[in-house]
Amino acid sequence: MDFLNLQLINKRVKQTNYSYREGVVKKVIGLTIEVEGIRAFIGEVCLIYNERNDTINSEVVGFKEDNVILMPLGELVGIAPGCKVVPTGEALNVKCSEELFGKILDGLGQPLTDEEIISGLYYKLDTEPPDPLKRRRIKDVISTGVRAIDGFLTCGEGQRIGIFAGSGVGKSTTLGMIAKYAEADVNVICLIGERGREVRDFIEKDLGKEGMKKSIVVCATSDKPALVRLKGAFAATAIAEYFRDKGKKVILMMDSVTRFAMAQREVGLAIGEPPATKGYTPSVFAMLPRLMERAGMSDKGSITAFYTVLVDGDDFNEPIADAVRGILDGHIVLSRSLASKNHYPAIDILNSVSRLMTEIVEKQHKDNVSLARDLLSTYKDSEDLINIGAYVSGSNKKVDMSIKYIDEINRFLRQKIDEHTNFEDTVKCLNNIFKK
Ligand SMILES: Nc1ncnc2c1ncn2[C@@H]1O[C@H](COP(=O)(O)OP(=O)(O)O)[C@@H](O)[C@H]1O
Ligand SMILES: [Mg+2]
């Protein structure tokens, strides 16, 4: 039970007369457990003792008259009316240290293998974002190693970006590339609600040994209880905060925020919240900024964050996509039509923006991108005409120019999975397109 700072609890029990009143399970309704006879706070971990005296961890999620509502951080199996419940006086923590490198953790931040994190600092899963006035401003570029991003959607160190895509258009592959090639000290990768097979695929295929060396993976697969999936996102953020406090350049990647929102919806509905937009409860929309505001700059280090958003049926206006777009400082859209043309990474440049780009890149770079965007958009408008041979060369200067440059621009945008371009080379490549 390393996610509870047991030393601290014991100390507190000795020092104060914190009343450890016992309670009993009254009812189990759906995913919730109603307990009589304890006093506890929201987020407090409680231990439930089953008939065999094994403990089941649970968390306080609400109240009902004088009773406390718990949700288990594991399976409900074995819980019956009359089981003993003991509040611990502690909220969830994750033990952080350099030992975490290369490790795969569960949603509560515990290593999935038998290894133990021997020493470390406990970081609270739920904390406040850095003080807005103490945050350093974003002024440096962070190179991701992916040309289309570094060239057209340059990200700043400490920026928070959404990656919007349907399933199977290359989210995991792109995140894997960023993990391998970006200039970061640490990658914290959080996989929420994926299938078990996808997690293995991602770790072995997309990250590989090279990517894993400076990475920490937190995963809460779809079969895990909603509360654990939710905690996974907070645990990963807390680990990223630990390294940021040490002055490190951290990249946090979360795949996906949509599944995080779905987990919160499940918890919300279970404790009786009313469903609002598309069945999402109001707490979902309160939770999203609370999670994502924690990334970014602090006075010590930085967390540059990439959050993926699933857009089912390529509906970019569904409520989660909408809410996330409003919170973040940029979005990268992956398009199925590009993927189907074998254009990878399938980034739809014209529909993507990095809101901070203009503040952090050189003028020449900005001018090149602005021209290239113009040409891409001109070409797109006339593409149908060009393809059926209806466009007569010479009838429009801009279209002629777009035809001249389109292959060159697409060659720049396409990138093989094992190909790494650093930021200087990306800027040079972009320059070279228009020199010819
Ligand atoms: N940069 C790329 N180069 C070549 N193929 C890619 C690239 N990105 C994605 N793909 C192809 O798309 C498939 C699905 O990508 P994946 O990253 O698993 O999608 P998602 O995570 O969005 O479901 C991959 O198996 C691969 O064949
Ligand atoms: Mg994937």
The pLDDT tens digits for 5-34 are: 666 665 655 554 455 578 999 999 888 999
Closest residue by Cα to residue 184 from 224, 215, 223: 215
Q: Is 330 in the pocket of ligand 1 (CB under 6 A)?
A: no
What pLDDT, on the 0 to 100 scale, is given for residue 15?
Answer: 52
Q: Has residue 270 got a pLDDT over 70?
A: yes
Q: Is the CB of residue 298 less than 8 Å from the CB of residue 136?
A: yes
* Residue 205 DSSP symbol: I
Q: Is 291 in the pocket of ligand 1 (CB under 6 A)?
A: no
Ligand at minimal distance from the CA of 341 is 1
Overall average pLDDT of the 228-241 stretch:
96
Q: Has residue 201 got a pLDDT over 60?
A: yes
Range among 142-151, 375-384, 388-397, 399-408 rated most confident: 142-151
What pLDDT, on the 0 to 100 scale, is given for residue 131?
Answer: 87
Q: Note the pTM of the prediction, 2 decimals.
A: 0.92
Q: pLDDT digits over 133-177, tens only?
A: 888 888 899 999 999 999 999 999 999 999 999 988 999 899 999
Overall average pLDDT of the 362-380 stretch:
93
CA 193 – ligand 2 centroid, Å: 11
Q: Is the CB of residue 326 less than 8 Å from the CB of residue 307?
A: no
Q: Is 30 in the pocket of ligand 1 (CB under 6 A)?
A: no
What pLDDT, on the 0 to 100 scale, is given for residue 247?
Answer: 94
What pLDDT, on the 0 to 100 scale, is given for residue 312?
Answer: 74
Q: Is 172 in the pocket of ligand 1 (CB under 6 A)?
A: yes
- The sign of the dihedral angle between the CA atoms of 72, 78, 82, 85 is negative
Q: Has residue 235 got a pLDDT over 70?
A: yes
What pLDDT, on the 0 to 100 scale, is given for residue 362?
Answer: 92
Atom 24 of ligand 1: nearest residue by CA position:
170
Average pLDDT, the chain: 89
* Degrees, nearest 5: CA angle 300-292-311: 140
